[in-house]
Amino acid sequence: MTYQLSKNSRIRSLLLTLVLAAFALTGTTAHAQTVAPTVSAVSASAFDLLHLTSSPATSSIFGQAVTFSVTVTGTTGTPTGAVWFTDGSSLIGIAQLNASGVASFPISTLKPSIHSITASYKGDTVYSAANSSALTFTVNPRPVTTGVNAPASVVLGAGAVITGYVFDDATVGPGGTNGGPTGNSFPNATGPIFNLPAPRSSHAAAMLSDGSVLISGGTVAGSAVNTLVNYIPGTIIVPDERFVAVTGNMLHARSGHTTTLLSDGLTVLITGGDTGGDAELYTCNLATLTGSSVATGSLQAKRSEHTATLLPNGQVLIVGGTVGGSAVSSLEVYNSSGLASSAVTGHLAYARSGHTTTLLNYSGSVATLLVAGGDATGTAELINFDTSSKTVTQVGSATWLTARSGHTASILADGKTVLITGGNLIGVTPATAVASMELFQIPTSFTSFTSFTTLPTPAGLTTARANHTATALNNTFVVIIGGDTDITKTAEDFTPAFDPQGTLGFFDQYGTSEFTPVNCTLTITDTGASTCTATLTPSGEGARNYTFVYASNGNHVTGGYNGGTLQVAPTQATVTLTVPPTAAYGQTGLSAVAGGGNGTGAFSYSAGSSTACSVNSTTGALTITKGTGTCVITATKAADGTYSETSSAPVSIAITKAAASVTPNAATKVYGTADPTLNGTLSGFLPGDSVTASYTRAAGNTVAGSPYTISATLNAAAGVLDNYNITNNTAKLTISKASLTATANSASMNYGASLPAFTGTLVGVVSGDGITASYTTTATSTSSAGSYPITPVLDDPNSKLGNYDAVLTNGTLTIAKIATTATIQTSTSNVLLKNNVTLTAKVSSTTKPTGSVSFMDGSSALGTANLDSTGTATLTVNNLTAGTHNITAAYATDTNFTGSTSSSITVTVQDFNFTVNGATVTALSATTSNHVAAYTMQVTPTVGSTFFGTVALTLTGLPAGATYTITPSAIPAGSGTATVTVTINTSAGRASNSLPWPNGGSTIPKSLALVVFLPLLGTRKLRRALRTHVKSSALMLMLLSALLMAGITSCGSDAAAKNYSMALTGTSGALQHAVTLNLTAK
């Protein structure tokens, strides 16, 4: 607490410095070296310090403009600075000395009374401060005229309803060339200085001590600002009002804040707004329109769209607003210096934001305030705030039929009327600014508050506004500035009509108690006139005189004694009246029937002020015009010269509502289509009421949410539907599923190829549902040739498929076999019989074929071989017959490849024969002649003229000891038929140096004998070798001896002829042919 007090002390010191600085800038600060001024005036002594004058000189009427002027003449130049004008101890305004040393302050709001006006010059750097003598000035009430409307006659015992009028009769005031009442709005002149520099809303405004209005902050071009503007008022007669920018901004940009001139007349307290709960004290130099600001104690809560009201004791009451995004009902209060805020005990009846708070009364330490609008339910409430205990209590609350938010409420110059302007009507969507205005007549008692009745003004604002400001000026005007709409950089002035307020009293003119005195309270009309109604009941027949007197509330002259006369006729016999006890709205065939009474006067009928029915004044036929309330009928028998007019007692008819119904027709639609036109049936409504119905259904457009309720909204002129008991039936809108088809397009591809992009057709998707189709198959790029389904797949990212009957139609993916090409090669195209031929087939395709290849010789199969990884098959054969063969390779189709057959290749297979003279021979015979035998034959190819390969000729079976030659021994490839000669020579077996073989015909050759015996007869060297190897040679010697012995036995005998069989074989590879050679050796 000690720290807080110290902090407040520092703030007070800083504020005192700012105030003193302001005084210096406005010429209100005293200085040590000063010269007392001399003040001159038309009738003043040259020795007077200050002389105060007024215009008018001594008096005015309430609402008339009065200008107080003072001229200060110095001995050293013209004095400068400010002059404060006070009424008793209350500051009424501040004015600056002009170049002639004259300060003037106009004001029109001084209340009817005798005022003591003083001018206080605050001095400047040359002259010291000085005060004028008090000037007595009288403000008189405004004059009035009065009148009544009354019936010419009345039946004895019946009451006479009299309406009284009081008219403002002033010819001076704020409106018109003569200053009469207006009760209207007038826009400012066009031009840049007559309006705000830019549209501004949610700003704050406070009237300063010089009568100008300080406009702070607000929203400009969508953003809160910290700038200030000063509005200098004019009059309708002299429209010199203008806007001037103020130098020196607030500490922070603010919107939805408050600006309040404190009771010191110099300091403005600025609180809250959208930017937070801080506050600042702003001081404006009225002479230069420059200002500066210092921070002060923050709000208890961070508020915006709240109100701040200066109370007579200097406190500033903060009410409601938006805290943390929600309207609140709390209050707090600043002290008179604006340095600190304290919490208030108690709260509003309703949370409010964008409301108004208006001080209506201050008694003792209790302020009574009207808090209106800004709540969700549309109410106004009256509260009492005890400034001593800082406690709020509720007097009461009431419904406000035209409740608003973002509006303004200003007490007019009469102090008895609150002007409410613009705003947004609560409960109307979207929020729209209105131009209407209304007046609230401040009650004379504040003990209860159960109704809040306002009077719409005949004319509204010239521009619809919300979140604007309205400030009551010293000239009785209310200036309305800015607001939310695009053109509300404008300003306009409301001029009050000065409707007389108070009461009218009706009395017996002569005090004979012919009437019971009646007082009625006047009701304003915003036209310069007020009315009230009273009922006078005379006690006797004949002429009865009355008078009425106006009792003012202080703003108008009390009096207006006027009189009138009522003619009271004698009482007739009772007039009876029969009516139906009840009637329903619109019911026909009803009548009122009167009877009784005296005299010959005709009956007439009246429904009086009843709004629920009307009656034909002559026939009594009834028309029920409303469905609620009571119809009160009176029958009157006219006077006939003897009897005065007399009426029946009023008879009531209870009015009931007519039964009516509205029944929507059921409807259907397909999902995704527009709603059908909804319609229905109205029953029981009167044709003349022009009741129509519009039909709507519950929101939603899904099949799952279906059916949706169809309801009816009845349309009729205001109040018509109140006349019916309406049965509001409902029906259903059913949404059926939409048809959706997804059809996959068929596609084809070759085996082994990449899958193609699949397409299809999607029909029936409602725009915006986002359903798409993709197409897939079970096949892959390696799947075998064949047919596979292409299946549509629906993608439903927004879960909309439940609204469709989806039909999915597959397509077909055809994987075709790949075409192949078969080629064949041979290892040789010419081959000898039984020799190997290698056949090589190559099957080509876009991918590797599989399977086998059949090798065909014409139509005969040679064999089958499987394809290897390169698509090659190889078959080696050696069984081709001699001749020419057309060989093909046939690739049979398989699962994935088409069959193909190569072109044929020719393989020629060759054989050969042994022929003699062209004839094939298998054996030849020959007999040795001189031990020689010769065979001659041809070796002939069977196909072609030349040999495909070399034929090698060999001889087997040759007799022992015989020799042979084959010429040629080989037939080279490429040569033709060859003649072959085989020569056998057996002469070596028959020579003389031969020994006979033991078989009797053979001999041992000499050479062999030599070989055998030579080791025995050899050289010394051989004999040594023999000795060396004697052991190993012994066996050989024994064998040779045996052989010799055998030969010796046959020596010298003739041998017999012998037959031998030999084989001449021709070989080429695996092919062999032999011819037998028979030999007879002699």
**Looking at residue 1072, which CATH number applies to its domain?**
2.60.40.2310
Instruction: Give 1051-1071 pLDDT, tens digit per residue.
Output: 333 457 889 999 999 999 999
Pairing status of strand 322-323 against strand 963-967: unpaired
φ, ψ for residue 114, nearest 5 deg: -95, 125
**What is residue 511's predicted lDDT score, i.e. its pLDDT?**
64
Please choose, from the candidates 843, 844, 841, the residue with its C-alpha nearest in 3D space to the C-alpha of residue 825: 841
**Looking at residue 881, which CATH number applies to its domain?**
2.60.40.10
Instruction: Give 65-97 pLDDT, tens digit per residue.
Output: 899 999 988 888 889 999 999 999 999 999 999
**What is residue 1030's predicted lDDT score, i.e. its pLDDT?**
42
**What is residue 512's predicted lDDT score, i.e. its pLDDT?**
60
Better-scored residue on pLDDT, 792 or 20: 792
Instruction: Give 464-510 pLDDT, tens digit per residue.
Output: 999 999 999 998 899 999 998 766 678 888 888 888 999 988 887 76
Instruction: Assess if residue 707 is contained within a domain.
Output: yes
Q: pLDDT category, 164, cuts 50, 70, 90?
A: confident
Instruction: Assess if residue 1035 is contained within a domain.
Output: no
**What is residue 168's predicted lDDT score, i.e. its pLDDT?**
87
Please choose, from the candidates 881, 841, 846, the residue with its C-alpha nearest in 3D space to the C-alpha of residue 860: 881
Is the bond preceding residue 968 a cis peptide, omega within 30 degrees? yes
Q: In terms of domains, do 188 and 293 share one?
A: yes
Secondary structure of 588-599 as H, E, C letters: CCCECEEEECCC
Task: Say yes or no to pLDDT of 874 above 60.
Answer: yes
**What is residue 486's predicted lDDT score, i.e. its pLDDT?**
60
Better-scored residue on pLDDT, 783 or 171: 783
**Of 477, 495, 513, which one is at a domain's C-terminal end?**
495
**Looking at residue 485, which CATH number applies to its domain?**
2.120.10.80
Among 426-440, 472-486, 814-828, 1024-1038, the range scoring the smallest mean pLDDT is 1024-1038
Instruction: Give 183-202 pLDDT, tens digit per residue.
Output: 677 777 666 677 888 899 99
Across all residues in the chain, what is the average pLDDT?
85
Instruction: Assess if residue 686 is contained within a domain.
Output: yes
Better-scored residue on pLDDT, 182 or 238: 182
**What is residue 591's predicted lDDT score, i.e. its pLDDT?**
94
Task: Say yes or no to pLDDT of 1021 above 70.
Answer: no
Task: Say yes or no to pLDDT of 622 above 70.
Answer: yes
Q: pLDDT category, 1004, cuts 50, 70, 90?
A: very low
For 840-869, give one letter per residue: b (16+ CB within 10 A) or e. bbbbebeeebebebbbbbeeeebeebebee
Other C-beta atoms lying within 10 Å of the C-beta of residue 718: 6
Residue 1062 CA, distance from chain mean position:
117
C-alpha 106/C-alpha 112 separation (Å) is 16
**What is residue 990's predicted lDDT score, i.e. its pLDDT?**
47
**Of 755, 784, 816, which one is at a domain's C-terminal end?**
816
Q: In terms of domains, do 399 and 350 share one?
A: yes
The percent of residues above 90 in pLDDT, for the chain, comes to 63
Residue 397 CA, distance from chain mean position:
40
| Residue range 421-443: mean pLDDT, rounded | 92
Tokens of 131: 């005060």
Tokens of 522: 């006047």
**What is residue 354's predicted lDDT score, i.e. its pLDDT?**
96
Alpha-carbon distance values, 52 to 34, 98, 117, 118, 133 (Å) = 22, 16, 8, 7, 7
Among 50-54, 557-561, 668-672, the range scoring the smallest mean pLDDT is 557-561
Q: pLDDT category, 30, cuts 50, 70, 90?
A: very low
**What is residue 173's predicted lDDT score, i.e. its pLDDT?**
54
Residue 433 DSSP code: B
Burial-class residue 611 by CB neighbours within 10 Å (0-12, 13-18, 19+).
middle
- Given a contact cutoff of 8 angstroms between Cβ atoms, the answer to whether 362 and 311 are in contact is yes
- Given a contact cutoff of 8 angstroms between Cβ atoms, the answer to whether 903 and 822 are in contact is no
Instruction: Assess if residue 1008 is contained within a domain.
Output: no
Name the E strands within 400-443.
Answer: 404-405, 408-411, 417-421, 424-425, 437-441
Instruction: Give 262-283 pLDDT, tens digit per residue.
Output: 998 889 999 999 877 899 999 9
Please choose, from the candidates 229, 161, 181, the residue with its C-alpha nearest in 3D space to the C-alpha of residue 61: 181
Instruction: Assess if residue 9 is contained within a domain.
Output: no
Q: In terms of domains, do 384 and 399 share one?
A: yes
Its sign, for the CA torsion 697, 700, 703, 705, is: negative
Tokens of 907: 């393989």
Q: In terms of domains, do 731 and 750 share one?
A: no
Instruction: Assess if residue 1021 is contained within a domain.
Output: no
Split into its structural domains, the chain has a count of: 8
Q: In terms of domains, do 48 and 91 share one?
A: yes
Instruction: Assess if residue 518 is contained within a domain.
Output: yes
Other C-beta atoms lying within 10 Å of the C-beta of residue 833: 23
**What is residue 38's predicted lDDT score, i.e. its pLDDT?**
36
Q: In terms of domains, do 112 and 232 share one?
A: no
**What is residue 235's predicted lDDT score, i.e. its pLDDT?**
54
Instruction: Assess if residue 609 is contained within a domain.
Output: yes
Collapse the DSSP code of 1041 into the 3-class scheme (helix H, G, I; strand E, B; otherwise coil) and give the result. helix
Q: In terms of domains, do 462 and 524 share one?
A: no
**Of 715, 735, 755, which one is at a domain's C-terminal end?**
735
Q: pLDDT category, 975, cuts 50, 70, 90?
A: very high
Task: Say yes or no to pLDDT of 174 above 60.
Answer: no
* DSSP H or E run through 219: strand 219-220
| Residue range 781-801: mean pLDDT, rounded | 94
Task: Say yes or no to pLDDT of 992 above 60.
Answer: no
Q: In terms of domains, do 594 and 556 share one?
A: no
Secondary structure of 518-578 as H, E, C letters: EEEECEECCCCEEEEEEEECCCCCEEEEEEEEEEECCCECCEEEEEEEEEEECCCCCEEEE
Q: In terms of domains, do 534 and 633 share one?
A: no
Instruction: Give 935-962 pLDDT, tens digit per residue.
Output: 999 999 999 899 999 999 999 999 888 9
**What is residue 802's predicted lDDT score, i.e. its pLDDT?**
94
Count how many Cα atoms sit within 13 Å of the Cα of residue 879 in the half-sphere of its side chain: 8
Please choose, from the candidates 531, 525, 520, the residue with its C-alpha nearest in 3D space to the C-alpha of residue 497: 525
**What is residue 151's predicted lDDT score, i.e. its pLDDT?**
83
- Given a contact cutoff of 8 angstroms between Cβ atoms, the answer to whether 579 and 651 are in contact is yes
Q: In terms of domains, do 682 and 742 share one?
A: no
Domain extent, residue 35, equals 23-140
Task: Say yes or no to pLDDT of 1001 above 60.
Answer: no
Better-scored residue on pLDDT, 18 or 247: 247
- 973's CB contacts (< 8 A; 6+ apart) are 946, 947, 948, 949, 950
Better-scored residue on pLDDT, 770 or 561: 770
Q: In terms of domains, do 381 and 357 share one?
A: yes
**What is residue 181's predicted lDDT score, i.e. its pLDDT?**
55
φ, ψ for residue 11, nearest 5 deg: -65, -40
Q: What amino acid occupies position 1031?
A: K
Task: Say yes or no to pLDDT of 799 above 70.
Answer: yes
Q: pLDDT category, 355, cuts 50, 70, 90?
A: very high
Q: In terms of domains, do 312 and 461 share one?
A: yes
Task: Say yes or no to pLDDT of 730 above 60.
Answer: yes
